[in-house]
Amino acid sequence: MGKRIVIALGGNALGKNLPEQMKAVKITARAIVDLIEEGNEVVICHGNGPQVGMIQNAMAELTRSDPQKYTPCPLSVCVAMSQGYIGYDLQNAMREEMLDRGILKGAATVLTQVEVDPEDPAFLYPTKPIGPFMTEEEARAMKEKYGLNIMEDAGRGWRWVVASPEPKGIVEIDTIRSLVETDHVVVACGGGGIPVFRTDGHHLKGAAAVIDKDFAAAVLAKQLDADLLIILTAVEKVAIHFGKPDQQDLDTLTAKETEKYIEAGEFAPGSMLPKVKAALSFAESAPGRKTLITLLEKARDGINGRTGTVITS
């Protein structure tokens, strides 16, 4: 019997620019349709770190070039733009792959707002890397020129960092649930969702932030009552002592073991740590729920217990 699965796609599944993305989504679609072909319901949540930074930089350049003609573009609007164009490529690739296999399902992208707390301390301490990687020299120049918060990202280079508040709830959850229950493959909470908070009346105001897509995917999976959350990343399994001679890949993790390794600092902030925390959040939320962390191309093997790291309560 098929499962209801929420998949969190890492940036490596989308490429770093538009030409790369168009190629990458075809590979991504094949791996996801493998799961659909086995009778599973699938909802996709994707990252947008490189893309939202690219959009923000482009809009800022326009404003600087002619401030009378162009107005600054809020980060929440840039997130919405990234949701639209990434979802456009993803849903078309999914639709094409399904039709090629004779699978008659709809594919739809829902521009999704995710509620955050305006008092979240994350707004005081930006930690979420977005945009392209830079050398240390380039990063210093960007900081001096534009006053951006810049930090080193897991040994891969320097990036602009913004606030990353905790997701509280998904505004369009009823729409997403209706699509899933009418046999659609849904792309939702792209880039972690458009961060919003409630103001007077029923108004939702965009926040200057980017929500971590793994945490958003965990909230989405809980609200959809999913059986499984799959977090796809650049490694086949979660490891302790990562990158050291005594590195140990992990097949399974209980909640207690996961918390012990988090406290010991085994997982890199901005890299594996948020994925493991999001995985734990979903696995602990109800009996029988599990999270799988693995490579995109290993997702089907992971579901069938042949690889990946499975986190349970």
Q: Which residues contact 97 (CB under 8 A, 6 or more apart)?
A: 26, 29, 30, 33
Q: Are 265 and 272 in contact (CB under 8 A)?
A: no
CATH assignment of the domain containing 46 = 3.40.1160.10
Quote the domain boundaries for residue 140.
4-312
Q: What is the pLDDT of residue 132?
A: 65
Predicted confidence (pLDDT) at residue 83 exceeds the cutoff of 90: yes
CA atoms within 13 A on the CB side of 156: 13
**What DSSP designation does 225 have?**
T
Q: Are 91 and 108 in contact (CB under 8 A)?
A: yes
Q: Are 166 and 85 in contact (CB under 8 A)?
A: no
Q: Which long-range contacts (CB under 8 A, 24 or more apart) does 19-22 make?
A: 21/51, 21/86, 21/89, 22/89
Q: pTM (2 decimals)?
A: 0.89
Q: What is the pLDDT of residue 154?
A: 66
Nearest by Cα to 133 from 50, 47, 213, 60: 50
The pLDDT-based confidence of 230 (bands split at 50, 70, 90) is very high
Please write the tens of the pLDDT for every residue from 3-32: 999 999 986 678 777 888 888 899 999 999
Predicted confidence (pLDDT) at residue 87 exceeds the cutoff of 70: yes
57/63 Cα distance (integer angstroms): 10
Q: Which residues are catalytic?
A: 11-12, 128, 213, 275
Q: What is the pLDDT of residue 36?
A: 96
Please write the tens of the pLDDT for every residue from 29-65: 999 999 999 999 999 999 987 788 788 778 877 877 8
Q: What is the pLDDT of residue 159?
A: 76
Q: Are 270 and 208 in contact (CB under 8 A)?
A: no
Please compute the mean of the pLDDT values over residues 236-258 and round it to a whole number. 94
Please give the radius of gyration of the chain, using alpha carbons only, rounded to the nearest integer. 19
Between 37-46, 142-151, 196-205, the lowest mean confidence (pLDDT) is in 142-151
If one counts the domains in the chain, the total is: 1
Average pLDDT, the chain: 90
What size, in residues, is the chain?
313
Higher per-residue confidence, 140 vs 224: 224
